[in-house]
């Protein structure tokens, strides 16, 4: 890194961007000019990286979400510039931490699906694979979450308010995307994805929707001002917001357009570049591996066939090319939760694509008939059924690989939920347990623990080979090592205390147990079970003066989808509990409840390192994998959770004795379903019944028109679309309380408690996204890893 050159560039950008001297800029402006200056270092490396993969097979990751987080620190760490930059900025009188905080989080995702995509891009570059991300450049991302009187209120996430220094608009590579009622430009914005060491820099290409004709002058001249900009507004709506509310048909149409928009643009992009060097498409699948991240991009299968048809490729050949090109990652266990689209909407918006899907469905039926299946058996596999298009069925039939994201998840798909498809195509099904990038979730988020690990190992090889952590297990019996680990944990807890005080205005006790549940708000993730446990502890403290518990801080972070009324009611319920508990002097500060506002990647980087307990309490068989559980583990927090998703593999690695597993198993739930009566369960459990009744009995100080009756009824009566207590909160409650009591008792001997945390950290090596991406590359994509050494040997 050339410090003088970087300084000179910053001064130049200060003048050309803001018309002021560098010293006169505020922190957001300084962040902008610094990142622009740094991009000049990245660009030639980026270009060289692209050139080394020319002519080789490359992978492409199609995802509706990319939850990237802040780029500045991640890029500096991966380039190896961090210490020099901090020193340089300090000599200029600039605070690096202030610049880092000035960067906005790009709200381009809403949970594990989008964060997984971001981790994969990081690992792809670090492991020297060509892996390009394709998605949408949402102007406002998911939404900015505010709490108003305890309710979630959504506001636009203005992450682009001050520009985006990391992306380059490629106007020269825009394409046209056609719907039946509308045509728009898809304009690509390219962002570099820097691998650790900076040897490989890949690309995240996000498409922005823009009008073909932005301004109708004739309409304006006729004083029809709304009509003059209608085409512009309609086009821009497509890339305006991630997951717009689709409770009405207009919202459904917008979502469908979003999915097709980025898929069609991406495939047109691939075909255009391919045609520069090829006259036919016989080599297309040999050079392209396209991964569908869940079913949001499943329309890629018929769209590629449609586009190839326009190039003169027969339907049969185009279908074979599609199967060889595409692979599908399933993130959803339940059949009823798998994405479907109405035939009516497809005919209305994408009639040409629908015609291709009909051909695919007919070909599938003929193939199954040839295998000897009856009409009734064939009907189970129909892609078009009862007026809907089953996107998961399309994804399985139209690809060569179907993978689950944890071993339990994959087993459930093969044995029950997708067993019919597995019996048809057993060779397509495989498991790829999710992972996380240790660069962001340990090296960047927890530099103190990172330095300690490097010291103990005597090298920093764990940064790219996380399995090295297993060598730390030999230190677990050394009390002096565990004491140092404890000091690091307590320092991170103090940091979080100060951050929460600044952000939320709530004072928490750094000596309390930090019990943290941070994830998307959904009923199956059972934030409600956690809330009931808080009320249980509160009631005991109020009624039993001899009740002994360690001080506990319960921290939640979650956004609920704008149209998900029940999830939003759970947020309100937890905030009402916080209002009661946090202001009751009788309990002597034994419990604090904090629901952090606008939870995102940057907040997460403060929360994971400070956690004492990782809440992974989803109903067994409902969570495909989880990645938050891995981030907690990597930062030295034991799991309290069910045998669900990747929790099973976490316990396999770290030991049952170092975690707190409770509740029904998948097999027990299957046996219980037919006879389960939550109302009868409550009659036998008066303590829990009184807690559940707080939803309706006036315990919480709600306005007369407010209540949680619908939430209460979902547990006791069920609803038209599900049985009572569909997620077994009532049945699992006592087991959860017992597991939490074990946490409380173990925490009294902190040396032994934190020994469990240390062993979890030392056992986390399996859960690196580097391992996951190597498995994808070798077992699904068949793409090469190319280092600078490889290039040099080829040149010789």
Q: Specify which residues 514 forms β-bridges with.
A: 553
What is the pLDDT at residue 217?
83
SS3 per-residue string spanning 140-168: CCCCEEEEECCEEEEECCCCCCCCCCCCE
Flag whether pLDDT at 336 surpasses 70: no
Q: Which residues are catalytic?
A: 331, 519-520, 525, 627, 631
The answer, yes or no, to whether residue 335 has pLDDT greater than 80, is no
Please tell me the predicted confidence (pLDDT) of residue 629.
97
Question: What would the mean pLDDT of 618-640 be, rounded to a whole number?
Answer: 96
Q: What mean pLDDT do residues 303-330 have? A: 98
The predicted-structure confidence for 729-788, as pLDDT tens digits, reads as follows 999 999 999 999 999 999 999 999 999 999 999 999 999 999 999 999 999 999 999 987
User: What is the average pLDDT across 289-293?
Assistant: 98
Can you tell me the distance from the alpha carbon of 762 to that of 771, in angstroms, rounded to the nearest whole number?
16
The predicted pLDDT at position 124 comes to: 98
Can you give the length of the chain in residues?
A: 796
On the question of pLDDT at 795 being above 70, the answer is no
- Tens of pLDDT, residue by residue over 698-709, are 888 776 667 799
Give the CA distances from residue 51 to residues 55, 272, 567, 784, 788, in Å, rounded to whole numbers and listed in that order. Answer: 9, 17, 48, 14, 12
> Which structure tokens are listed for 34?
């610094």
Per residue in 243-269, pLDDT (tens digit) is 888 889 999 999 999 999 999 999 999
405 three-state secondary structure: coil
The structure's pTM equals 0.96
Q: What is the pLDDT of residues 757-771, one digit of tens each?
A: 999 999 999 999 999
**Range with the poorest average pLDDT among 475-484, 546-555, 606-615, 696-705:** 696-705
Condensed to tens digits (0 to 9), the pLDDT of residues 89-111 reads: 999 999 999 999 999 988 798 88
The per-residue pLDDT of the chain, averaged, comes to: 95
Q: Could you please report the per-residue DSSP string of 711-737? A: HHHHHHT-BTTB-TTTT-HHHHHHHHH
Contact, 302 vs 346, CB < 8 A? no
Q: Is pLDDT at 214 greater than 90 in this prediction? A: no
Average pLDDT over residues 285-313: 98
pLDDT at 790 over 80: no
Per-residue pLDDT band for 796 (boundaries 50, 70, 90) equals: very low
What is the full DSSP assignment across 631-679? HHHHTT--EEE-S-TTHHHHHHHH-GGGSEE-S--HHHHHHHGGG--HH
Tokens standing for residue 557: 């972070």
Q: 40-63: per-residue pLDDT in tens?
A: 999 999 999 999 999 999 999 999
CA distance 552 to 509: 8
Strands (E), 469-572: 513-518, 552-557
Domains and CATH numbers, the chain: 1-52+72-104 (no CATH), 53-69+105-434+778-795 (3.40.50.2000), 438-762 (3.40.50.2000)
- The secondary structure of residue 178, as a DSSP letter, is E
User: According to DSSP H, which parts of 80-206 are helical?
Assistant: 82-91, 96-102, 112-126
Strand order in the sheet with 613-616: 591-596, 552-557, 513-518, 613-616, 639-641, 660-661
pLDDT of residue 700: 83
Q: What is the mean pLDDT of residues 565-579?
A: 96
User: How large a percentage of the chain has pLDDT more than 90?
Assistant: 91
Residues 663-691: pLDDT tens digits? Answer: 999 999 999 999 999 999 999 999 999 99
């Amino acid at each position: 890194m050339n410090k003088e050159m970087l300084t000179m560039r910053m001064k130049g950008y200060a003048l050309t961007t803001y018309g002021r001297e560098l010293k006169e800029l505020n922190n957001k402006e300084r962040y902008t000019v610094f990142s622009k200056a740094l991009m000049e270092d990245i660009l030639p490396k980026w270009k060289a990286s692209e050139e080394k993969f020319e002519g080789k097979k490359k992978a492409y990751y199609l995802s509706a979400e990319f939850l990237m987080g802040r780029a500045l620190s991640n890029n500096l760490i991966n380039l190896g510039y961090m210490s020099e930059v901090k020193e340089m900025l300090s000599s200029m009188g600039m605070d690096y931490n202030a610049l880092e905080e000035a960067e906005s989080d790009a709200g381009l995702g809403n949970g594990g699906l989008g964060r997984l995509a971001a981790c994969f891009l990081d690992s792809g570059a670090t492991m020297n694979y060509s892996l390009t991300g394709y998605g949408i450049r949402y102007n406002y991302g998911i939404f900015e979450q505010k709490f108003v009187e305890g309710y979630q209120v959504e506001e636009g996430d203005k992450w682009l308010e001050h520009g985006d220094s990391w992306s380059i608009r490629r106007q020269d590579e825009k394409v046209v995307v056609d719907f039946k009622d509308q045509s728009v430009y898809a304009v690509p914005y390219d962002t570099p994805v820097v691998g650790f060491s900076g040897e490989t820099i890949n690309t995240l290409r996000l498409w922005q929707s823009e009008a073909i004709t932005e301004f109708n002058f004739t309409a304006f001249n006729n004083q029809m001002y709304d009509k003059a900009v209608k085409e512009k507004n309609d086009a821009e709506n497509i890339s305006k917001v991630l997951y717009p509310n689709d409770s009405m048909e207009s919202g459904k149409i917008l979502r469908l357009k979003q999915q097709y928009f980025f898929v069609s643009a991406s495939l047109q992009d691939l075909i255009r570049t391919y045609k520069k060097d090829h006259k036919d498409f016989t080599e297309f699948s040999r050079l392209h591996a396209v991964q569908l991240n869940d079913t949001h991009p499943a329309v890629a299968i018929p769209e590629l066939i449609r586009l190839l048809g326009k190039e003169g490729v027969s339907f049969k050949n185009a279908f074979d090319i599609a199967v060889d090109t595409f692979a599908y990652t399933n993130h959803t266990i339940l059949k009823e939760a798998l994405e479907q689209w109405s035939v009516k909407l497809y005919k209305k918006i994408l009639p040409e694509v629908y015609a291709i899907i009909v051909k695919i469905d007919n070909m599938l039926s003929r193939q199954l008939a040839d295998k000897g299946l009856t009409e009734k058996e064939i009907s189970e596999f129909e892609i078009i059924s009862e007026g809907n298009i089953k996107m998961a069925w399309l994804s399985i039939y139209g690809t060569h690989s179907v993978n689950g994201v944890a071993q339990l998840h994959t087993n459930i798909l093969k044995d029950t939920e997708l067993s019919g498809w597995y019996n048809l195509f057993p060779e397509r099904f495989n498991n790829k347990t999710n992972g996380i990038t240790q660069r962001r979730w340990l090296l960047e988020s927890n530099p103190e623990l990172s330095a300690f690990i490097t010291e103990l190992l005597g090298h920093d090889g764990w940064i790219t080979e996380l399995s090295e952590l297993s060598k730390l297990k030999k230190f677990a019996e050394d009390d002096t090592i565990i004491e140092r680990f404890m000091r690091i944990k307590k320092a991170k807890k103090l940091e979080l205390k100060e951050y929460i005080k600044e952000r939320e205005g709530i004072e928490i006790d750094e000596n309390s147990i930090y019990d943290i549940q941070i994830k998307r708000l959904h009923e199956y993730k059972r934030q409600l079970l956690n809330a009931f446990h808080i009320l249980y502890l509160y009631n005991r403290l109020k009624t039993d003066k001899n009740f002994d518990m360690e001080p506990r801080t319960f921290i939640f972070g979650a956004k609920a989808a704008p149209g998900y009324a029940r999830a939003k009611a759970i947020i309100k319920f937890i905030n009402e509990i916080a209002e009661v508990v946090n202001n009751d002097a009788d309990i002597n500060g034994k419990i604090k409840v904090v629901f952090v506002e606008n939870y995102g990647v940057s907040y997460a980087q403060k929360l994971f390192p400070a956690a004492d307990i990782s809440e992974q309490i989803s109903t067994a068989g409902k969570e495909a994998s989880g990645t938050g559980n891995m981030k907690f583990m990597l930062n030295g927090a034991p799991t309290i959770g069910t045998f669900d998703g990747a929790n099973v593999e976490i316990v396999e690695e770290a030991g049952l004795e170092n975690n707190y597993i409770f509740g029904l198993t998948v097999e027990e739930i299957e046996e219980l379903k037919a006879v389960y009566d939550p109302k009868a369960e409550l009659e036998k459990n008066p303590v829990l019944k009184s807690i559940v009744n707080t939803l309706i009995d006036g315990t919480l100080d709600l306005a007369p028109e407010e209540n949680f009756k619908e939430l209460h009824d979902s547990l006791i009566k069920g609803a038209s679309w599900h049985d009572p207590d569909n997620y077994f909160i009532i049945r699992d409650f006592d087991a959860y309380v017992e597991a939490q009591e074990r946490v409380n008792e173990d925490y009294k001997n902190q040396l032994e408690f934190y020994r469990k945390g240390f062993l979890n950290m030392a056992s986390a090596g399996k859960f690196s996204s580097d391992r996951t991406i190597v498995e994808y590359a070798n077992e699904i994509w068949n793409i090469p890893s190319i280092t600078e050494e490889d290039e040099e040997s080829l040149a010789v």
